[in-house]
Amino acid sequence: MAEAFSLKDHLFNAESLGQLAGEYQGAVPGFDAEGFLAEVLPGLQGRELKARLEWIADCVERRLSPDFPAMADQIEAALPPPLDPARTDGDFGRFIHAVPGILAVRHGLEEHRDRALDLIEAATQRFSMEFHIRPFLGRWPKETLARLDVWCGHGNYHVRRLVSEGTRPMLPWAPKIALDPLVPLRFLDRLHADRTRYVTRSVANHLNDIAKRAPEPVLERLGAWAEEGRQARRELDWMTRHALRGLVKQGHPGAMAALGYAAEAPLRLASVAAVPRTVPIGAAARFEVTLEAEAPAPVLVDLVMHFRRPGGSVRPKVMKVGQGEVAPGGPLTLTKTHRFKGDATTYRLVPGPMRVEVQVNGRILGACDLVLAAPEGAGLAGPAGRG
């Protein structure tokens, strides 16, 4: 039987850390690459991903100057060439190059703010420093925001992306920051017209974060950007859809209208069916939705599935069906096949009846019922997760 894939072993191993050791040995006089590897590799065992990064930083730090400005010079000298500037997306870098950010926070946050920010500016061109800029936003908000203002016009798109990504109010796996979520909108006003998808995706994700707390400023911004016309229309349309995806799932009327879907369009749910009506966990059901209209109407159709939780409560999850246009005298039928996974890592399915609502342009038009059945020989499916 094949061994399970281990991300932490894939990222941190003799090969990747040998490369890191070679970079420092080639740039820092007296750096003992063999001693570094002899210490760092055994210490990986028993540590998870983030703890491994901290350990690697410990082992690098012991072989550098204790004086942070000198240490920062050594780190910068050991950095590999910047990530390919010809690419415009998907070039995140390698986790071994997170070490400069860790050491910048450890030793530069209090006494060497500006030198540490210089290091982060250089390092993020090799590996995203989105996690490591956040302590500086917490400790030095005014000064760090001023630096981000400058970075909005930086010639390297990884630095420009850092401005948006590092200030996201709900950045995944990152510590929270005590920053008014509307403050970074001034950065997004500049970055939304960026020529690289890596930056504009971050802008859209940032807006999606803000929209969870403050929908109206996001809708206003997107409308203003459309009027300005600084971004290509196709790209701005993509950004708008991506930024409003959370609001769309909620059926927010303003988000629907921004995407061209009228919540009050004269629509009728002609039928909705689930086949089969009893679905074993791990199997799939096919949903068929038919709509009719009194006047031509673009539609965005979702299914709101009300999953039972182990404690007895119900949690809705929105699943996309599709989009189209309904015309008088010409019903529109859309289908969706959904597998009820029994191996999800974030939630556990519970057998029993469940309700599935049809949401069209943010409005619930009807529903159907089905029954989730336990797999043969099991009471519950999938590994225990967050219920």
The confidence score (pLDDT) of residue 380 equals 42
**pLDDT value of residue 376:** 61
Q: What is the DSSP string of 111-161?
A: T-HHHHHHHHHHHTTTB--TTTSHHHHHH-HHHHHHHHHHHTT-SSHHHHH
HSE on the CB side for 124, CA within 13 Å? 27
DSSP secondary structure, 306-365, as one string: EEEPTTS-EEEEEEEEEEEEEBTTB-EEEEEEEE--S--SS-----EEEEEEEEETTEEE
Q: Can you give the pLDDT at residue 377? A: 55
For the chain, give every domain's residue range: 64-243, 267-373
User: Three-state secondary structure along 278-305?
Assistant: EEECCCEEEEEEEEEECCCEEEEEEEEE
End-to-end distance of the chain based on CA atoms, in angstroms? 30
In this structure, the number of other CB atoms found within 10 A of the CB of residue 374 comes to: 17
pLDDT of 383: 39
User: How many other CB atoms are found less than 10 A from the CB of residue 32?
Assistant: 15
Task: Write the DSSP symbol of residue 276.
Answer: S
β-bridge mates for residue 290, sequence order: 271, 333
pLDDT, residue 385, reads 37
Q: What is the pLDDT of residues 242-279, one digit of tens each?
A: 999 999 999 999 999 999 999 899 999 999 999 999 99
**Given this model, what pLDDT does residue 75 score?**
98
Q: What is the mean pLDDT of each run of 10 residues along the chain (387 residues)?
A: 75 96 97 97 95 98 98 98 85 92 98 98 97 97 98 97 97 92 97 97 98 97 97 97 95 94 94 96 96 94 94 91 92 96 78 96 96 72 38
Round to whole Å and give the CA distance between 360 and 130: 37
Amino acid (1-letter code) at residue 113: R
The pLDDT assigned to 347 comes to: 74
Query: In terms of CATH architecture, what is 267-373?
Result: Sandwich (2.60)
| Distance, C-alpha 189 to centroid of its chain | 20
Residues paired with residue 364 on neighbouring β-strands, in sequence order: 359
For residues 357 and 321, give the distance between their C-alpha atoms in angstroms, rounded to a whole number. Answer: 12
How many CB atoms within 10 Å of residue 137?
20
* Token pair recorded at residue 223: 């409308």
The reported pLDDT for the residue numbered 250 is 92
Same fold, 64-243 and 267-373: no
Q: What was the pLDDT predicted at 329?
A: 85
Among the listed residues 46, 160, 44, 140, the one whose alpha carbon sits nearest the alpha carbon of residue 96: 44
Size of the chain, expressed as the number of residues it contains: 387
Residue by residue, DSSP assigns 1-69 as -PPPP-HHHHHSSHHHHHHHHHHHHHHSTT--HHHHHHHHHHHTTT--HHHHHHHHHHHHHTTS-SSHH
Contact 57, 99 (CB under 8 A): yes
Give the whole-angstrom CA distance, residue 244 versus residue 134.
25
Return the CATH class of domain 64-243. mainly alpha
Residue with tokens 């930083």: 57
